[in-house]
């Protein structure tokens, strides 16, 4: 198998793993808990709390009409997935970290896209908080997207730094 085929196998494995884990955990929560039910896993820090988020991250656009949200998120998701695929195809085939990063974001985007098509909203359930500080609930797809985006920022930062080095500074002997 050539390196191009390996890239797509890697993309497929990562995306399928994330989407499967995301959809299985969401189905488990939706079938075993009542909406808004909360189960303390680590009291005062982490609960499983079943909510549905009609908006984007942090509930942004959650109060706009459902028809507008459906069209907006459908088009935005398709655009984002197309952009991710373009970035993936332009990556150096030896850049495994970059490929894993894009595949992670892509898998998370598909996981939440499935929810939006199926329910018109996203199932969230991972609920972290400390005293009065509460992070909005999220899911496996959100984690994959967040970790992927952070990883992508690190990649871009190191690539930018490397491109500003002179050939001598870039040498492994310096």
Burial 118-153 (b: 16+ CB within 10 A, else e): eeebbbbbbbeeeeeeeeebbbbbbbbbeebeebbe
Residue found under tokens 């929810």: 115
Query: Terminal CA-to-CA distance of the chain, rounded, Å?
Result: 37
Query: Torsions phi, psi of 60, nearest 5?
Result: -60, 135
Catalytic residues: 124, 142
């Amino acid at each position: 198998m050539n390196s191009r085929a390996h890239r797509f196998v890697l993309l497929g494995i990562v995306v399928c793993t994330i989407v499967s884990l995301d959809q299985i955990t969401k189905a488990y929560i939706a079938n075993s808990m009542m909406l808004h039910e909360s189960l303390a896993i680590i009291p005062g820090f982490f609960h499983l709390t079943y909510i549905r988020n009609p908006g984007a991250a942090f509930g942004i656009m959650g109060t706009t009409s459902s028809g507008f949200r459906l069209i907006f998120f459908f088009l935005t998701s398709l655009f984002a997935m197309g952009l991710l695929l373009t970035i993936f195809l332009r990556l150096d085939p030896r850049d495994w970290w970059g490929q894993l990063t894009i595949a992670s974001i892509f898998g998370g985007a598909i996981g939440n896209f499935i929810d939006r098509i199926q329910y018109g909203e996203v199932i969230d359930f991972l609920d972290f908080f400390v005293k009065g500080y509460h992070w909005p609930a999220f899911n496996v797809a959100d984690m994959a997207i967040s970790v992927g985006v952070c990883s992508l920022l690190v990649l871009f930062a190191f690539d930018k730094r490397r491109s500003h080095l002179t050939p001598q500074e870039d040498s492994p002997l310096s």
